[in-house]
């Protein structure tokens, strides 16, 4: 055998898989089992709860991901620059208005941020986050549990249907949605509903965000799948540690009976120290009665758990590496780490956050905003010369502000970018701010000061330059050296 890793006789490798399975044929029962166990971890395991909290913070920040229109129609439409700007402002305002209230949720129970977070939570823990578009005078979205997306009765996976997805020419064209489980309903009264993947105008009817998905899979599995076994073992270690600490905190008092009759009475009421006696760990004191003349020796209950923290940190580092999140970011949720010297951790968190945000935007935020804008076009609230989806949805998403420990350095970074020749829009975006918003706010503040008669001290003009003086040579800034841009002296 050329490669020892292919051996099936080696005891260490004998239980490993030795054959490949086509990823497109996901095993529903296997994914469902993983989802159930991952959900338990996400509800009961403190570290997994903190892990997702850190991930959610990197994805959504405090305010969520907001659409900023960059609408620009085809040249033949001859739309003026001012008209395009007005369309952009209107489209941005319509989308941003959905971040207040709970009207976007079909159940009227969640804000838009909570709705998007719920889809993300389901994708992370269950492997699939689903929402179905429902029209109630406007487009609203209903959360759908992963198990409700399933094949109709008596239809197994095949060329045209697979795991609840209707296929045509290998592409998804719709989903089959079962009603919520009702213990009083019979199989004869329950039937799935077919939902087209897109409506007639090309806007999405289904939101589907996946967790971990191997190439070829239509459905996903939980992102906690690689750590389920390890986290279960860690949980057992913590349970043993806590039990030992509780035992250590209990005081056992052994008292010698005055006579055989007193010991007999203790046996009857369960306070006698016998091989069958069970210590009550609920109370701080246990009193045991022994026969007269009995010699007893109390064992030392001291528990040495000095290496527990190091053990947990190593395990947590391995699990965080699976999700490309620094363990320091997660432990900050638990009050066990400091960012005072964690620049590398913050840089890694920033890169991971950008990836998470991009994935969420394309899977969830953009489909929601597309439905919102086309509703506005249909209702006459938004007029656009070119209503093609790719044109209407041209735009970027404002991201959560970057985490910073030094605001002064942030300001210096912005100025350094501008000095190096970068646009002010790019410079502001580098710290998660929108340049246009700041300019509009400055105009409003200036108008307010003028209306209130507030005098603002103007900076003194710079002294006139000496015409006979030799000009100082221009220098390249640090960023200019990198990008070949010369900064102003």
> What percent of the chain stands above pLDDT 90?
35
Could you write out the DSSP letters of every residue in 119-180?
HHHHHHHHSEEEEEEEESSSEEEEEE-GGGB-PPTT--S-SSEETTEEEETTEEEEEEEPPP
Give CA 228 to chain center in angstroms: 18
Q: State residue 438's pLDDT score.
A: 84
pLDDT score of 247 more than 90: no
Residue 64 — pLDDT band, cuts 50, 70, 90? Answer: very high
What local confidence, expressed as pLDDT, does residue 330 receive? 82
- Answer for the pair 444, 385: CB distance below 8 angstroms, yes or no: no
> What pLDDT is stored for residue 187 in this prediction?
58
At 489 the pLDDT is 39
pLDDT at 21: 74
pLDDT digits (tens, 9 = 90+) for 366-412: 999 999 999 999 999 998 887 777 788 888 898 887 766 677 887 88
What does the pLDDT average to over 165-188? 84
Mean pLDDT score of the chain, rounded to an integer? Answer: 82
Which of 182-196, 222-236, 251-265, 277-291 bottoms out in mean pLDDT, i.e. has the lowest? 277-291
Note the pLDDT tens digit of each residue in 426-472: 888 777 777 877 888 888 888 888 888 886 555 566 666 555 656 55
Which pLDDT value is given to residue 252?
Answer: 65
Mean pLDDT of 144-164: 91
- List the chain domain ranges: 229-308, 406-452+475-489
* Torsion, CA 329, CA 334, CA 335, CA 338, rounded to 10: -10
Higher pLDDT, 295 or 339: 295
Per DSSP, 212 falls in state B
Q: How confident is the model at residue 28 (pLDDT cuts 50, 70, 90)?
A: low
Cα–Cα–Cα angle for 461, 462, 464, rounded to 5 degrees: 115
- CA 283, CA 250: separation in Å to the nearest integer? 7
Q: Tens digit of pLDDT for each residue in 81-96? A: 888 888 999 999 999 9
What is the mean predicted confidence (pLDDT) over 318-341?
A: 76
Selected residue with higher pLDDT from 63 and 471: 63
Find the helix or strand (DSSP H, E) in which 67 lies. Answer: strand 66-69
H/E stretch holding 66: strand 66-69
Three-state DSSP class for residue 347: helix
Confidence of residue 280 (pLDDT cuts 50, 70, 90): low
């Amino acid at each position: 055998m050329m490669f020892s890793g292919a051996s099936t006789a080696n005891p260490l490798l004998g239980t490993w898989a030795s054959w490949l399975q086509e990823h497109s044929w996901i095993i529903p029962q296997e994914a469902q089992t993983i989802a159930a166990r991952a959900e338990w971890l996400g509800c009961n395991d403190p570290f997994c709860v903190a892990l997702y909290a850190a991930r959610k913070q990197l994805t959504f920040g405090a305010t969520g991901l907001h659409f900023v229109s960059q609408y620009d129609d085809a040249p033949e439409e001859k739309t003026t620059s001012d008209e395009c700007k007005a369309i952009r402002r209107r489209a941005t305002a319509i989308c941003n208005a959905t971040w207040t209230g709970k009207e976007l949720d079909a159940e009227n129970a969640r804000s838009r941020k909570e709705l998007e977070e719920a889809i993300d939570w389901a994708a992370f823990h269950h492997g699939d986050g689903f929402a179905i578009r429902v029209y109630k005078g406007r487009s609203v979205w209903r959360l759908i549990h992963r198990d409700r997306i399933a094949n109709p009765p008596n239809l197994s996976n095949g060329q045209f249907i697979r795991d609840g997805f209707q296929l045509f020419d290998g592409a998804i064209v719709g989903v089959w949605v079962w009603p919520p489980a009702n213990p009083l309903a019979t199989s004869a009264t329950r039937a799935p509903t077919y939902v087209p993947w897109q409506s007639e105008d090309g806007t999405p009817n289904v939101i589907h965000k996946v967790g971990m998905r191997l190439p070829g899979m239509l459905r996903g599995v939980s992102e906690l799948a690689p750590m389920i076994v390890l986290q279960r073992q860690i949980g057992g270690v913590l349970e043993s540690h806590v039990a030992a600490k509780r035992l250590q905190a209990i005081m056992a008092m052994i008292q010698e009976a005055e006579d055989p009759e007193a010991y007999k009475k203790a046996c009857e009421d369960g306070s006698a120290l016998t091989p069958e006696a069970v210590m009550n760990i609920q109370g701080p004191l246990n009193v045991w009665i022994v026969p007269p003349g009995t010699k007893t020796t109390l064992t030392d209950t001291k528990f040495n758990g000095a290496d527990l923290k190091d053990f947990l940190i190593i395990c947590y580092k391995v699990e965080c590496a699976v999700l490309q999140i620094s363990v320091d970011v997660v432990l900050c949720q638990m009050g066990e780490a400091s960012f005072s010297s964690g620049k590398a951790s913050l840089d890694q968190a920033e890169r991971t956050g950008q990836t998470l945000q991009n994935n969420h935007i394309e899977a969830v935020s953009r489909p929601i905003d597309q439905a919102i804008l086309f509703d506005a076009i249909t209702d006459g609230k938004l007029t656009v010369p070119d209503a093609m989806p790719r044109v209407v949805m041209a735009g970027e998403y404002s991201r959560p502000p970057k985490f910073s420990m030094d605001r002064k350095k942030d300001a210096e970074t912005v100025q350094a970018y501008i000095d190096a020749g970068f646009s002010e829009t790019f410079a502001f975006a580098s710290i998660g701010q929108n340049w246009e918003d700041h300019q509009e706010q400055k105009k409003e503040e200036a108008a307010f000061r003028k209306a209130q008669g507030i005098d603002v001290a103007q900076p003194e003009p710079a002294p006139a330059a000496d015409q006979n003086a030799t000009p100082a040579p221009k220098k390249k800034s640090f960023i200019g050296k990198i990008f070949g841009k010369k900064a102003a002296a």
